[in-house]
Amino acid sequence: NAGVMQNPRHLVRRRGQEARLRCSPMKGHSHVYWYRQLPEEGLKFMVYLQKENIIDESGMPKERFSAEFPKEGPSILRIQQVVRGDSAAYFCASSPDEGEQFFGPGTRLTVL
Amino acid sequence: RKEVEQDPGPFNVPEGATVAFNCTYSNSASQSFFWYRQDCRKEPKLLMSVYSSGNEDGRFTAQLNRASQYISLLIRDSKLSDSATYLCVVTFSYDKVIFGPGTSLSVIP
């Protein structure tokens, strides 16, 4: 059983471009969580999704950020018009229920 | 008050030492508790769940005190490989998962 997969592992964007981060949960997991970790800081919850539904997006910035988890395919975290402050590691986690979460290796976004 | 708080650290301890981390949470309706470990620039990995009766896994012991709303992690006989950041995780309601800021541990030869 493959673990949580994220791609790309590293992403470089210039200010104003769009960033798309993908997360494939573990097989059989229907809950997906996205977290952001700024350099030298802790994990910050962004959004919790189940298939085709956003359950909790209280940690998402109000503008430029969106997330989806379609019926088919990976979950996508989309950042429009990136700014330097968006540079961070973005981790995705999945779980079969509301318990233990399994994390992917993360995508490190660098905005030039 | 933050929802989940941890010892600020960092902790620098010699090999073989015993070290304890504390974590407090503010929501009395919290349901599940975990300790995760995060190595530098890697993803967090589950270390252990924390049960009301307390639980032990080798050199690691986790305790939960619901009345005082804190959990603890005890590491005995520290190894160099224990050096990492330890994250306290609390869930309340079915979808609210809060990570603490983490406590950094460095085990020194």
Closest-approach residue (CA) in chain A for B31: A99
Task: Give B79's pLDDT tier (boundaries 50, 70, 90).
Answer: very high
- Give the 3-state secondary structure of residue B101: coil
Whether chain A has a CB inside 8 Å of the CB on B99: the answer is yes
- pLDDT tens-place string over residues B35-50: 999 998 899 999 999 9
Task: Give B52's pLDDT tier (boundaries 50, 70, 90).
Answer: confident
Q: Above 90 in pLDDT, residue A104?
A: yes
Closest-approach residue (CA) in chain B for A4: B43
CA of A76 vs chain B CAs: smallest distance (Å): 18
Peptide bond into A74 cis (omega under 30): no
Q: How far is CA B53 from CA A66, B11, B50, B65, B89, in A?
A: 41, 27, 8, 9, 18
**Ramachandran angles phi, psi of B83, nearest 5°:** -60, 120
- pLDDT tens-place string over residues A33-75: 999 998 778 888 899 999 889 998 989 999 999 999 998 899 9
Peptide bond into B14 cis (omega under 30): no
Q: Which residue has the tokens 């306290």?
A: B88
Report the pLDDT value the prediction gives residue B34, as an integer from 0 to 100: 93
Provide, as residue numbers in chain B, all residues whose Cβ is less than 8 Å from the Cβ of A45: 97-99
Torsion-angle region of A84 (φ positive above 0: left; ψ -120 to 50: alpha; else: beta): alpha
- pLDDT tens-place string over residues B53-73: 889 999 999 999 999 999 999
> Under an 8 A CB cutoff, do B44 and A43 touch?
yes
